[in-house]
C-alpha cells in the first residue's frame, strides 16, 4: 500500500524542476571512506570507476577509471532524467530526491541527507516480522513501513512506540518479494540476508522513544555469501519496520548516524584536516530539526533542505566571491575563497554563542548563520 507524500506546492514544483533538469547516474556514487564491492561500477569524484578489489575507498579498495563524470551532465550510457507523471509530490519523486542528494553529497562533499527523511510514506501488507525474519501471512495487527535503503550505510531511526518494534531487510518489486537466481536455482534473497550471522539483520526494539533514536546498518561485503547477487539487487532493497496499528508517531529515517549530535562539541581536533569527508561532516553538525519531536505528522524533509535547493546558502559552491567575503569579515583574510578552515571557524563561533538557535547548522552560511553575522553575534 502506498500513499501520497504531501508538501507545499511551491516546494514540490522546485524539486520536480531540479530533478527534470539534472541528469542522475544509474550507478552509486561514493566518496573517501565508503566501502565498494568488486566488480561493480561506481562514480567517485569526477570519474566513473570499476572496482577490482573490494574495500574502503582511499584505503584498501582498488579500482580502474573508466570515464570522466560531471555532476548534472547527460551521458547516454549511464545517466537519466526523471520526469514525474504525477500532479502531486509523490513517493517516486521523493525517492528520486534522495538519489539526487546522494550524488550531490558524494560529488561536492556537501551532505544534505540530515535534512531528508528516507521514509517515503510507504507501507507493506500481507507480511509480518518475527525474530526469525519476514514471512507472508496475516498482518492485520501491524502496520509495516518500508524504507528504500543502500547497503553499508547507517540509518538513524526515530519514532515513539511503547510496544515491540521489529525491523528487517526485504527485497521488493511492486510490493512482492523477489528472488535471485544461481543458474536454474532460485534463492530467497530476503531470507538469506535476514539469516546472515545468526540473524544479525533482524532487529527488535522492546520500545522506542523519538528522543532516543537508534541505528541500523545492513552490510554487504565480499566475504558474505552471494554478495555480488545481493549487490545487483540493491535497487529492490528496503528496510521493513513493523509497528502495532495503534502507533501514531512521526517516523523519521535518516541516512547517517545522528544519534550523537549535540549543541556543544569539541572543536580543538588537532588532526581534523585528516578526517574523511563524512567524519568532518559529523563534526560540523548541530542538533537536527527532523529529530526534535514527534507531532504525529509525517515530514519528508526539513525547511533547511529547501534553503540549499534554492541556493540560498553560502558554501564552497557559491560562484560569487562577495558572498564568501561576507562570511570572512572579521575572522579570516578577505579572499572570497571558501575553505574547510572557514567552515570550521564559523561553526565553532556560532555553536558557542548563547544568542542563537542551534538547529540544522553545518558550518555553511544559511539564513540563521548569515543573520548572526550581520547582527555581529559571531
- For residue range 105-163, what is the model confidence (pLDDT) as tens digits? 999 999 999 999 999 999 999 999 999 999 999 999 999 999 999 999 999 999 999 99
Burial of 21 (0-12, 13-18, 19+ CB in 10 A): exposed
pLDDT value of position 263: 46
Residues near 214 by beta carbon (within 8 Å), at least 6 away in sequence: 156, 157, 205, 208, 259
How many of the other CB atoms lie within 10 Å of CB of 293? Answer: 11
SS3 of 368, please?
A: helix
Tens digit of pLDDT for each residue in 320-353? 999 999 899 888 889 999 999 999 999 999 999 9
Task: Write out the H or E segment, with its range, that includes residue 205.
Answer: strand 203-205
pLDDT value of position 2: 41
Residues near 224 by beta carbon (within 8 Å), at least 6 away in sequence: 196, 230
End-to-end CA distance of the chain: 49
d(Cα 333, Cα 324) in Å, to the nearest integer?
11
d(Cα 6, Cα 56) in Å, to the nearest integer?
38
List b or e across 112-125, with b for residues whose CB sees 16 or more CB atoms inside 10 angstroms.
bbbbbbbbbbbebe
Burial of 81 (0-12, 13-18, 19+ CB in 10 A): exposed
- pLDDT, averaged across the chain: 93
pLDDT value of position 275: 80
Query: What residues does 130 pair with on adjacent strands?
Result: 133
- Sorted by where each begins, the domain ranges of the chain are 1-109, 111-258, 260-378
pTM: 0.95
Enumerate residue ranges in the chain where pLDDT < 50. 1-2, 263
pLDDT value of position 267: 55
Amino acid at each position: 500500500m502506498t500513499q501520497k507524500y504531501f508538501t507545499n506546492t511551491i516546494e514540490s514544483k522546485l524539486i520536480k524542476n531540479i530533478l527534470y533538469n539534472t541528469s542522475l547516474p544509474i550507478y552509486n556514487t561514493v566518496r573517501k571512506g565508503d566501502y565498494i564491492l568488486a566488480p561493480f561500477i561506481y562514480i567517485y569524484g569526477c570519474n566513473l570507476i570499476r572496482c577490482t578489489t573490494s574495500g574502503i575507498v582511499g584505503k584498501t579498495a582498488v579500482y580502474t577509471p573508466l570515464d570522466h563524470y560531471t555532476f548534472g551532465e547527460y551521458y547516454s550510457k549511464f545517466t537519466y532524467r526523471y520526469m514525474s507523471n504525477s500532479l502531486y509530490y509523490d513517493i517516486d519523486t521523493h525517492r528520486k530526491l534522495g538519489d539526487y542528494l546522494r550524488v550531490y553529497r558524494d560529488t561536492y562533499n556537501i551532505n544534505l541527507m540530515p535534512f531528508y527523511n528516507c521514509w517515503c510514506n510507504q507501507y507493506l501488507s500481507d507480511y509480518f516480522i518475527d525474530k526469525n525474519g519476514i514471512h507472508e501471512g496475516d498482518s492485520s495487527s501491524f502496520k509495516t513501513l518500508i524504507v528504500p535503503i543502500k547497503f553499508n550505510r547507517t540509518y538513524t531511526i526515530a519514532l515513539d512506540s511503547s510496544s515491540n518494534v521489529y525491523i528487517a531487510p526485504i527485497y521488493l518489486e511492486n510490493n512482492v518479494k523477489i528472488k535471485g537466481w544461481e543458474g536454474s536455482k532460485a534463492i530467497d534473497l530476503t531470507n538469506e540476508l535476514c539469516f546472515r550471522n545468526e540473524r544479525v539483520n533482524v532487529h527488535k526494539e522492546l520500545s522506542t522513544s523519538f528522543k532516543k533514536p537508534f541505528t541500523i546498518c545492513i552490510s554487504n561485503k565480499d566475504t558474505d555469501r552471494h554478495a555480488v547477487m545481493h549487490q545487483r539487487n540493491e535497487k529492490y532493497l528496503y528496510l521493513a519496520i513493523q509497528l502495532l496499528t495503534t502507533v501514531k508517531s512521526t517516523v523519521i529515517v535518516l541516512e547517517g548516524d545522528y544519534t550523537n549530535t549535540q549543541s556543544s562539541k569539541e572543536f580543538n581536533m588537532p588532526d581534523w584536516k585528516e578526517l574523511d569527508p563524512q567524519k568532518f561532516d559529523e563534526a560540523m553538525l548541530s542538533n537536527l530539526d527532523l529529530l526534535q519531536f514527534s507531532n504525529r505528522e509525517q515530514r519528508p524533509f526539513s525547511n533547511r533542505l529547501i534553503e540549499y535547493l534554492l541556493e540560498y546558502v553560502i558554501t564552497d559552491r557559491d560562484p560569487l566571491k562577495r558572498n564568501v567575503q561576507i562570511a570572512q569579515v572579521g575572522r579570516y583574510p578577505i579572499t572570497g575563497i571558501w575553505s574547510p578552515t572557514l567552515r570550521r571557524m564559523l561553526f565553532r563561533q556560532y555553536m558557542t554563542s548563547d544568542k542563537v538557535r542551534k538547529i540544522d547548522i553545518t558550518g555553511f552560511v544559511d539564513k540563521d548563520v548569515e543573520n548572526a553575522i550581520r547582527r555581529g553575534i559571531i
